[in-house]
Structure 1
């Protein structure tokens, strides 16, 4: 492998558990509750615009009415406050990433300004800067392959030379559509006991449950396909 492409939310930082809690609580409060596993599979990893459009349709189907006009502004406000208070590195990310011999970058659905803020906030930005790629840079976010292909091109790597580290079904689908190897990563607290099974069904080549095992998993892909 020449390049390891890391997702950010739920892989490098614990933001997925923060977002999920805020979103599910608020949806429940307006009478549009979701089962957490189903919500994760459908919405986690999407770009903000795709998440908003898909959620709007789902809530209307559930309730018969559109989302409140200020729904996204309220969710953003709640999530931002919780991120500022509770955002942290996924345990042992830094020490594990330092052991990986490949080139590395981040490719995330998070808008660029907030993506860089997250990495700066938890002290990981120096591991990747300037190789930090957001869905802002491409026409189609995950589950389309565009962002991963953009990252590979920017890093002068061919798709078959890349391995993607992803915690979401949409991210796994995007990585496989890009022609890359994909590690389904389940170290985050938002991942339920059977989350790895969902990632495998979506196409992940292997499941890694913690950072201690990540470098070895990447090395396994060094041989011929």
Structure 2
């Protein structure tokens, strides 16, 4: 028997393996502006954060405002990378095929990006209308608003839901909303999640057993 009635999945790094691709694009763009950073820096400072927060960090690194078209450039380049290389997280299709309770996706990215990546990885049919984007409500993690919106929209209480996250920002958002949160640690480069999340796990193939009594 499941201990929860609904699962709220983050998208990037939880459903789709987009973090290496998107962070590398951010690194490339930042370095073109004179930032001189690498992918490890991006994982430590950008992962799980909103685009505006990343842009603010880049501005601080280069000592001036970033160009007005920075997000447009980032989206164009990252979408192209996704189309060329993105893959689903290992084991996630098997997990979704075998879940017998409702689930949704709640992500910091624009809905267009979420849908694109779910389509490219063959996951879109699992979610369809159950897609929630921070851009729609203009509130970003660690604000818990995205998870609260998803929960209320699907008709569940906070205590009936569990959030699946891979970033410290996302874990903190769930905690701030009073949710249980399971941290997916396969790419926890900073080893941050185990001290914050309700539980941690490193394979989607074992998540189901963590959801039952």
TM-score, normalised to structure 1, is 0.84
- CA distance in structure 2 between the partners assigned to 1:125 and 1:209 by the alignment: 23
Aligned match of 1:31: 34
SS at match of 2:211: helix
Aligned residues of 1:15 and 1:83 also touching (Cα < 8 A) = yes
Bigger shift: residues 55-64 or 105-114: 55-64
- 1:165 matched to 2:164: yes
- CA distance in structure 1 between the partners assigned to 2:164 and 2:72 by the alignment: 30
How do residues 49-68 of structure 1 correspond to structure 2 at under 5 angstroms? 51-52=51-52, 54-68=53-67
- 1:120 matched to 2:119: yes
The change in CA–CA distance for 1:62 and 1:148 in structure 2 (over 3 A counts) is: same
TM-score, normalised to structure 2, is 0.89
State the 1:70 CA deviation: 3.7
State the 1:13 CA deviation: 0.7
State the 1:34 CA deviation: 3.6
Unaligned runs of 5+ in 1: none
- 1:109 matched to 2:108: yes
SS at match of 1:4: strand
User: Deviation string for 1:87-132 (max 9, x for gaps)?
Assistant: 1111221111222232111111111122112212211111122211
- CA distance in structure 2 between the partners assigned to 1:101 and 1:33 by the alignment: 47
The change in CA–CA distance for 1:158 and 1:2 in structure 2 (over 3 A counts) is: same
SS at match of 1:105: strand
- CA distance in structure 2 between the partners assigned to 1:69 and 1:104 by the alignment: 37
State the 1:45 CA deviation: 2.4
User: Deviation string for 1:51-94 (max 9, x for gaps)?
Assistant: 22x23432333232222344333322221211111111112211
- CA distance in structure 1 between the partners assigned to 2:136 and 2:57 by the alignment: 27
- Across the aligned residues of Structure 1 and Structure 2, the Cα RMSD in angstroms comes to 2.0
Aligned match of 2:16: 13
How do residues 118-157 of structure 1 correspond to structure 2 at under 5 angstroms? 118-157=117-156
State the 1:138 CA deviation: 2.1
How do residues 69-84 of structure 1 correspond to structure 2 at under 5 angstroms? 69-84=68-83
Q: How many residues align?
A: 210
- 1:214 matched to 2:207: yes
State the 1:41 CA deviation: 4.2
Aligned residues of 1:4 and 1:164 also touching (Cα < 8 A) = yes
Aligned match of 1:184: 183
- CA distance in structure 1 between the partners assigned to 2:115 and 2:173 by the alignment: 22
The change in CA–CA distance for 1:55 and 1:96 in structure 2 (over 3 A counts) is: closer
How do residues 93-108 of structure 1 correspond to structure 2 at under 5 angstroms? 93-108=92-107
Bigger shift: residues 26-35 or 177-186: 26-35
SS at match of 2:106: strand
Aligned residues of 1:41 and 1:170 also touching (Cα < 8 A) = no
Unaligned runs of 5+ in 2: none
